[in-house]
Chains A and B, each alone.
Chain A
C-alpha cells in the first residue's frame, strides 16, 4: 500500500508539473534562447538572419548614438523611481498611520488608477500636454509663459507620463509594508527621547525597506523597458531602449541587433534586481 501511495504521489507531481513545463518551456524559455542565438547572428539585407557567432551586434551598442539611448533610458527610469518614491512614500505613510477608518477607501482610490488601462492613462497626458492642452492653458493663465510651450515629445513629458503610470505600483507595496508596522516601536523610540524626525529615519524607514525595495523594482523594471509611454509622449526625439528594440523588429528589420538589445536589457534589469535585493538584504541583516 505504502509503495502504491508513493508512486501515486509522484504521478500526481508529474501531472501537476507537466502543463507548466510545457507552456513556459516552449513559450517562454525557448523563445528567449531563440533571441540569444539570433543576437549572435547576422541580419541579411532582406531581413533574413544567418546564425553564427558574430559579436558585432553587441559591439554596436557602444556606438555613441545607441549608448546615448541606453544612458537616457537608465536615467529616466531612475528618475521615475525616485519621483515615485518621493510622491508615494508620504501618501502610503499617511494612509497607514493617519488614515484610520478611511484606510480601505483611501487604498481603493489608489487601486482605481492602478487597474485602469495604461494606454488610457498615457492618452490623458497626450491630451493634457498637447499643443493647446490644459497644461499650456494653466501656464498661460499663471503668466508663466505668453505663448504655448512645446511640452509634449520631451524627456520631461516621458518622465511625467511614467511617474503618473507607475506611482500606484510604488504606493501599494509601501502601504503593505507600513501597514504591518508595529506602532509601539515608534512610541518606544519617542519615549526614549528620539525626535519624530529621528524616529522616522532610524525606526520607521528602515523597517519599511522591504516595501521600498519591492516598490522600486516594480517601478524601475517596467519603466526601463517601457515603450508605449516614450512612443506616445516622447515621439522620435525621446527614444528609449524599448523603442529602439521595437524599431529593429518592425521597421529596420535588423533582428540580430534587436535581439542583442533585448538580451542586454534583460541581463541589465535582472542583474540590477539581484544586486539590489542582495545588497539591501545584507545591509539589513548587518543593521539588525
Chain B
C-alpha cells in the first residue's frame, strides 16, 4: 500500500481503501433512502397493497384529500406549531440574553435546567406533564399540547440563540448606548437585527420539533384533539394502507422544500 504523500484532498479516489470508503458511503446513503423510495413508490399503487405493484394511480391522494380527520389533524399541528414557536422563541431569546449578558446568582442552576430539558427522555417529560395536568385539573386538549411544546422548545431556542450571541461583538451595542439609546431601543434596533439569523434558526428548529413531536403530545393530547403525528400513529395502528404512504409522501416533499428553501436563505446570509 503506497502511502502517497499528497494532501488528502488532492489524493483523489485512487487507492483501495478510498474506493472501499466510497462504496461504504454509497451503501449507507442507499440504506437512508431506499425505505423512503419504497414508501413513495407504493403511494402511487392502484391497489390497496403496499407491497405488490399493480399499476399507477393517484387515487390514494384523492382519498387523502377527502379525509376530514387528516385535514383537521394537520390544522391542529399548524396551530400548535405556530403558537408554540412564537412563545418559545420569545422566551428562549430572553433566556439566552440573560445567560450570555448577565452574571447572576443561580445562573448555573438556570443553565442546568435548560440543558436538562433537552436531555430528559421525552417519555418522562410526557408522563410527568400528564400527571401534573390531571392533578391540577387542567383539561387535556390543544392548550395542554401548546404548553408542553413550549416547555420543550424553550431550551432548544435558548441554545441556538446563545451560540449566536456569544460570538457577537458587543461594541456596537455599547456605541448605541453611549449615543443615548435606552436598553429597549438598543435591543430592538441593534441587538435583535444582529442575532436575527440565530433567532430564525431557533424558531425553525422549534417549529420542526413541534410539528414532528409524537411522544410528549401522545400523553398530553387527551381524546379530543389529534395532531398530524398522532393521526399517522393511529392510522398505522389501524392497518397499513396506501393512504398513509400518500400522506407520508406529502410530508416528505414538504420537508424537502423547506430544507432547500431554508438552506438557501441561510447560505445567502452566510455569504452576505
258-288 of chain A: CB within 8 A of chain B: 258-259, 262-263, 265-266, 269-270, 273
How distant is the Cα of A87 from the Cα of B95 in the complex, in angstroms?
37
A202-237 toward B: CB 8 Å interface, digit per residue (1/0)? 000000000000000100011011011000100000
Q: Are A119 and B151 in contact (CB under 8 A)?
A: no
* Among B51, B92, B124, B244, contact of A265 (Cβ-Cβ < 8 Å): B124
A258 engages B95 (CB within 8 Å): no
Are A222 and B255 in contact (CB-based, < 8 A)? no
A58 at the interface (CB under 8 A from B): no
Most interface-central of B13, B28, B150, B158 (chain A CB within 10 A): B28
| Contact of B219 with A249 in the complex, beta carbons under 8 Å | yes
A118 contact set on B, CB distance < 8 A: 212, 214, 229
Q: Size range of the interface on B?
A: 35 or more
Instruction: Render B1-45 as a binary contact track against A, CB cut-off 8 A, 1 for contact.
Output: 101010111000100011001101100110111011011001000
Closest chain-A Cβ to B210's Cβ sits at a distance in Å of: 12
Option from A31, A123, A273 in Cβ contact (under 8 Å) with B39: A123
Does B256 sit within 8 A of A, measured CB to CB? yes
Q: Which residues of B contact A176 (CB under 8 A)?
A: none
Q: Which of A63-71, A126-134, A139-147 contacts B (4 or more CB under 8 A)?
A: A126-134
Closest A residue to B15 by CB, please name it: A196
State whether the Cβ of B131 lies closer than 8 Å to any Cβ in chain A. yes
- Known A24-B151, A27-B132, A32-B128; judge A87-B28 contact (CB<8 A): yes
Residues B259 and A123 in contact, CB atoms below 8 Å apart? no
- Are B150 and A23 closer than 8 Å at their CB atoms? yes
Size of the A side of the interface (Cβ < 8 Å), in residues, is 89
Are A24 and B5 interface neighbours, CB within 8 A? no
Q: List 19 A-B contacts (CB under 8 A).
A: A23-B150, A24-B113, A27-B132, A27-B147, A88-B28, A93-B21, A98-B18, A108-B260, A113-B32, A117-B232, A118-B212, A118-B229, A120-B39, A130-B50, A196-B17, A225-B124, A227-B123, A259-B127, A270-B120
Smallest CB-CB A-B distances: 3 pairs: A225-B121, A31-B128, A31-B132
User: A residues near B, CB below 8 A?
Assistant: 8-9, 12-13, 15-17, 19-21, 23-24, 27-32, 34-35, 38, 87-88, 90-91, 93-95, 97-98, 100, 104, 108-113, 115-128, 130, 132-134, 137, 164, 167-168, 183, 186-187, 190-191, 195-196, 217, 221-222, 224-225, 227-228, 232, 242, 245-246, 249, 255, 258-259, 262-263, 265-266, 269-270, 273
